[in-house]
Structure formats: C-alpha cells, structure tokens
Structure 1
C-alpha cells in the first residue's frame, strides 16, 4: 500500500533556534535541580544557602523571561492569559506598521535620493565587468531563463514594437540642425578631407570603368562627317583625358579651385541645414520617406532577428561570448567605469533619478503590497516566520535572565547574611 508523504512545513525552525531553546530550557532545569539539592542539604551545610539563593532567583528570572518570550508568539502552556500571543493577535497591525515604516524610511523620494548618493552603482558594475565572478549555478540558471524568455516571445510582434518605438522616436527628431552642426564641426577640423579624397578616387575609378560607355555616347551623338573622319574617337579621348587629368589634379592639390568650390558648397549646405526652413523640411520629408519604405522595414526586421539570435546565443553560452571580442569590450567598459569619473557620475545620476522615480511612482503600491501580503498570512505563518527570524536572540534573553536573576538572588542573600 502506497503511503502518501506529508510535505514538510515551509517554516521549520532553524537549527540555531532549536539549539538555543535546548540550552535555555536546560539551564532552567539545571537551576531547579540545584535549588532542590541545595535546599535539601542546607541544614547540614549552611554555605549551600548561597547556592540555593542563586538557583532560586535564577529560576524566577528564567521563568519570567520564558513567559515573556513565549507570550510574544503564543499562549503560555495554552492558557488564554490576557495580553499573550501578541504577534498572532496583532498581525494586521504589524503589517500596516511595517508597511508604514518602509514607506517613511525607505520609499520616499528624498530618502531614496539621499541614500543613493552614497551608493556608487557605476563603480560596482565596472568592477563586475572588469573581473566577472566565477559563473556558478545561479549564473547558468539565469542564462537559461533569459534565453527561454527570448525564444518564447513573438519575434514579429516584439520586433514590431521595438521598431515602432524607435521609428516614433526618429520621426520626432529634427535631424537637419544636428547634421548641419556635425558637418560644420567636421569641416572645421578637416575631418571631411578623407571623405572628399575618397569621393575623388571613386569618381576616377568610375571613369576608368566606363570609358567604353563615354566613347559610345560621343560616337552616337557625333555627325556622320565626324564619324567618317574619325574625329569622334579623338573627341572622346580628349574628354576622357581631360576628366582624368582634372580628377588627378584635384587629388594631388588640396587648393584646387574645383575642390575649393566643393568645400564652399559643403559649408553652404551645413549652414542651410541649420538655418534654412526649406532645407529642414526637405530633410524631414526624406527621413519620413525612408522610414516608410518597405525595404527599410524588412532590413530592420532582419537586423532585429540577428540581434535576438545573437543575444540568445550569448546567454546560452556566456563563457564563449565573454572569451571573445564581446567579452573584451565588456572588460574595457568595466575598466572605463572604474577610472572615468565623469562617466561614472553620469551613470550614477541616471540610476539615482530612476530609483527616485520608482519610489515616487510605485512607493505606495509597494507599501500596499507588503501590508496586504502580511494581512493574507494566517496567524501560524507570521508567528513561525517572525520567531524563526528573531527567536534565537530571544532565547539568549532567557539565558541572560536566568543568570542575571541568579546573581541578583546571590547578592540579596549575601546582604541578608551580612546584616
């Protein structure tokens, strides 16, 4: 016949609490034994009066503290004595008081801001990234959980949500002034020169690849006399040579007039991007057309899927990922966070503002959750949990009460004998 196993209670007493209960109760029993032994032999040995007084007072102190400790959590000996079983009778008030304590001392924006100023989150993150701890069971379990969550999500829906949020943000950005300032700054520091050189080289390569096309166009547009005399070929050669020489001179001479003209046009474009309303509107319309282009949407979804798959691979095998370039980048980021005071201050300020915002927006909800959770516990549950949390220290009170009571009884007996 199969036996049904009974589940163990979730709040069994920890070994430390059980051991202290045994010690406190054993000490009380020892004092009782000493009292009766000393009382029995005291007529023959008057000196045992000191031991009897010590043991008697120790029993009184131990019993009083046992009653006080027990009365917190239950009725002593099961007797419904008034003002006992304090915790079960007041569990709802305890929950409300605990929630109010959390709200007043931990979840107000001012308190959170003051405490967060003393916490260097960025430095802790930097230390973790620069020298990650050994990846144990918790790390592997978290990796599997994250990977399973990512794989279970609807990739099209999630990708669409992310794309929609990103596209909405991009639509709101006025890109023209930013592009204009970037172009102006690049030209001021001559960072546009490599791009201009690359454009000239690209034009030269394009000319070389399309010489036959140029010759064909000149031949088709020439009259019959030019074609009959062969001058069309001469004209095509001169055009190609002139363009090739022009591009070569532009590449070799930074002060070439045509090159300077291009730079003037770029400077004018940078100014128009920042100050010309018509140019800003053209950039805004071009940006909107790009965002509405189905090709851009397909590109974004493919990029999102690659990112998602890469992230899944990372969390499923973090050791391999952290051993490569990605891991090196994380370690460099950790070093930077530890030594870059400005970046660390920026991150800490962001975290502090986020924490203050959470406290302001959700503090009442957290308090209500704590209060309702405690109210939902039955009296036995809250009693066991509180007793397991502080019961070991309360048993020390019983031990101290026994010993202190004994010493007080010994002092009183000594004074009584002396007088």
Structure 2
C-alpha cells in the first residue's frame, strides 16, 4: 500500500500528510533528476572549461547519493522496483520479531512494578468516585441498575442452594455463640449506668397498681380466708389483714420509689450483681442459657419468620425493580449521594482508598503483564502489514524523504571534495 491508496480512507489529517508526502517525494525525484541532467550537461561542456569538471563531480556524486538513499528509504518499507533483493522490505520481513520485541519492551519498561505503582499513586481514584457519586443523576441511574440486578441475584441465590448454605452457616454461628458472657456483660453495663433503678421503679409501680386492683384484692382476700381458723373468719379478720397487708406494701413501695438512697435499692443492686456473678461462673446457668438458645433456634416459628422476611424482602425488591415503588430506589440514590459527599470531605479515607486501589491494580498488572505482552505481540502479528506500512509512511515518510535530500547534498559535496583533491594532484 502506498500513500495514495492510504489517503483514500484515512482521516482528514492523514490525508493532508499523505498529500504533503507526495509533494516531498516529487521534489526529491525532481532533485535527483536535476542532478542527473546537470551531470550529463557538465560532462558535455567539460572540454569548454575546467570548472564544468567540478560541476560534473558534484552532480555525479549527488546523483549516486540520492539514489543510494532512495534505495535505503524504499527498502525499509518494500522491495525497490519490486525486485526480490535480499534485506529489503525490512518491516514486513521482521513483523513477528518486531511484534515480540514490542511486547517485551512494553512488559519490561512500561509494566514494571515501580513505575506502575508510581503512576497509580498519582491518580486520585477516590475523588473520581466521590465526584461520580455526588451527581444525583448518576447515583439514581446506579440505584436503578442495582435494583434491576437484585431480583435475579435473589432468584439465583434460591435456585443455586446458596440460600440454604447461608442459612446453615448462620445457624451454626448462632449455635456457637456463648450467650452467658454476653448477657452478663450487658447486665453489668446496665447496672453500671444505673438503668436498673428505673427498672426497679417500674416494677414497684406495677406491683402498687396490681395491689389496688379489685380482682387482685379478691384473690388475696380469698387466700387469707382459706388460711385463717374458723373462729377468726367469723370476726372478718381476713378483711382486716388484707387492709393491713395492702397498706404496708403500698407504703413500702412508695418509700422505695421516692427515696433514691433507700436501703432496699442497695439490696436490689447486690442481688443483681450476685446474679451476674453466678451467670458468669456457674456452669448451671450457662447450660440453661444454652438450652434456651437451642430451643429458641429450633422453634418452627423462627424458621417461618425467616421465610416470611425473605419473601417480603424479595417482593419489595421486585416491586422496586419494576418501578411499582420508588421508595427503595430513591433511598438508595440518596445513600450513594451522601456517600460521595462524605468521601469527598474525608481526606484520610480517600487516601486509604487510593492506596488500596493502587495495591490491587499493581498486583493485578504484575500478575497479568506477561499476558499483556503476549496479547500485544499477537495483535501486531495479526496486523495487515501493507496497511501498517501505509500508516508509518504517511506519518514519518516526509522526514525520511529529507534523507534523500541530505544524501544528494552530502554525496555531492563529498564528490566535489574528491574531485578537487584529484585536480590538485594532477596539477602537481
């Protein structure tokens, strides 16, 4: 392929360069032809004056130099005049070697760990992510995209057995949790913060209210009456005892509730702390808690609750993905926007994210650089060399044509110098 055929499909810039290449080629050919004409004319006029000998020497050497450099430039791309001359069409003949060396060069000099890491650390990936997420439209598009994927992901989770596997793993992890230390620690924090006193006040208030209920009073009265001797029943001692019991209890409850320093509160503290200590140390408590945990996890109601939660979540996601409900999409988009704003405001987090991405990409490139090298080499080997040569020639051919100009000039000067030396030697 020559520059003319290439210019038929190249971009406007390449077409202009192809036109300039044709112009320079024409000038170079004209210079070569001019040197040849001057040489012939000088040889013819040589008998008339010795100066034409110098002109002929210059033109002769310039013609030879121009021809030699024309041959060198043409041989780089194709066979001169189509002749099968050895060591011509160099680029075509060495396509595979050029491909392998190009891939090797890129692997060694462009994909080495140090320069790759240095370049990656110059890129602020986190800021790009923050700016991208901060755009409401992009975040909304991302939310809708994720929602379209979620129903398929949930269906795949069910059909692939992943749901069952996850459920079993969760149940196994829950079974392995030792609840006694957790419960003890929670209760210690509850007591340390003084919140147990509020619980005591609520219990006392509930008991006070229960003692004033007619039904409760009737039950207590009947119980007292059943325990009293027959003689005392005749004197309605049960009513008297009930009244005294209720009055004493309610007075006690009121005293405890109104006095933060009441001794009963200290007894309540010691009772709870003693229970926490026993919960942490006595195996019997641990066993009972573990049994309660196993019974709770084995309840069919818990499995049914899990299925209902899953089905409701799937139904809600499907409605959101179909556009029937925009609540989840709107909320998810707002989450992305807020995440972008938070990331933009947190320089430390951005630095950590950039460092992590740089490490991941550096490792990935280090693992795949040989594959990149092979890919580049295979691509170059598969190129249409005629088209490639057309691209190279159009882009650098103009400069190569100046080699012909220089060859004619340097050759002419060298020939002139040699002829001058020869002329001077003849004079001696």
**TM-score interval, smaller chain:** 0.5 to 0.7
Is the counterpart of residue 290 in structure 1 residue 293 in structure 2? no
Counterpart of 1:146? 150
> Structure 2 CA distance, aligned partners of 1:405 and 1:319?
65
Is the counterpart of residue 162 in structure 1 residue 166 in structure 2? yes
> Structure 1 CA distance, aligned partners of 2:296 and 2:305?
12
Unpaired stretches in structure 2, ≥5 consecutive residues? 1-8, 43-58, 80-88, 418-428
Counterpart of 2:184? 180
> Structure 2 CA distance, aligned partners of 1:87 and 1:200?
92
Cα deviation for residue 116 of structure 1 reads: 9.6
TM-score, structure 2 normalization: 0.59
Q: What are the equivalent positions in structure 2 for 1:251-290 lying under 5 Å apart?
A: 251-290=257-296
Q: Deviations over 1:283-322 (max 9, x none)?
A: 3332222212222222222233334444445555596436
Q: Deviations over 1:200-244 (max 9, x none)?
A: 445455x16854134224315514856654443444444444444
Q: Deviations over 1:242-298 (max 9, x none)?
A: 444333333332223333222222222333344444433333332222212222222
Q: What are the equivalent positions in structure 2 for 1:343-354 lying under 5 Å apart?
A: none
1:404 corresponds to which of 399, 405, 423: 399
- The 1:191–1:162 alpha-carbon spacing in structure 2 relative to 1, beyond 3 Å, is farther
Q: What are the equivalent positions in structure 2 for 1:95-106 lying under 5 Å apart?
A: none
Q: Is the 8 A contact 1:57 1:406 kept in 2?
A: no
Q: Secondary structure of the equivalent of 1:254?
A: coil
Counterpart of 2:95? 84
Cα deviation for residue 85 of structure 1 reads: 4.9
Query: Which deviates the most, 271-280 or 58-67?
Result: 58-67
Equivalenced residue count is 374
> Structure 1 CA distance, aligned partners of 2:69 and 2:201?
97
Q: What are the equivalent positions in structure 2 for 1:362-373 lying under 5 Å apart?
A: none
Is the counterpart of residue 383 in structure 1 residue 382 in structure 2? yes
- The 1:180–1:293 alpha-carbon spacing in structure 2 relative to 1, beyond 3 Å, is same
> Structure 2 CA distance, aligned partners of 1:161 and 1:337?
35
Cα deviation for residue 60 of structure 1 reads: 6.4
Larger Rg: 2
Unpaired stretches in structure 1, ≥5 consecutive residues? 1-15, 69-77
Q: Secondary structure of the equivalent of 2:138?
A: coil
Q: What are the equivalent positions in structure 2 for 1:207-286 lying under 5 Å apart?
A: 207=210, 211-223=214-226, 225=230, 229-286=235-292
- The 1:85–1:171 alpha-carbon spacing in structure 2 relative to 1, beyond 3 Å, is same
Counterpart of 1:300? 306
TM-score, structure 1 normalization: 0.60
- The 1:211–1:254 alpha-carbon spacing in structure 2 relative to 1, beyond 3 Å, is farther
- The 1:168–1:319 alpha-carbon spacing in structure 2 relative to 1, beyond 3 Å, is same
The alignment yields a C-alpha RMSD, in angstroms, of 5.9
Q: Is the 8 A contact 2:139 2:336 kept in 1?
A: no
Is the counterpart of residue 190 in structure 1 residue 185 in structure 2? no
> Structure 2 CA distance, aligned partners of 1:135 and 1:334?
9
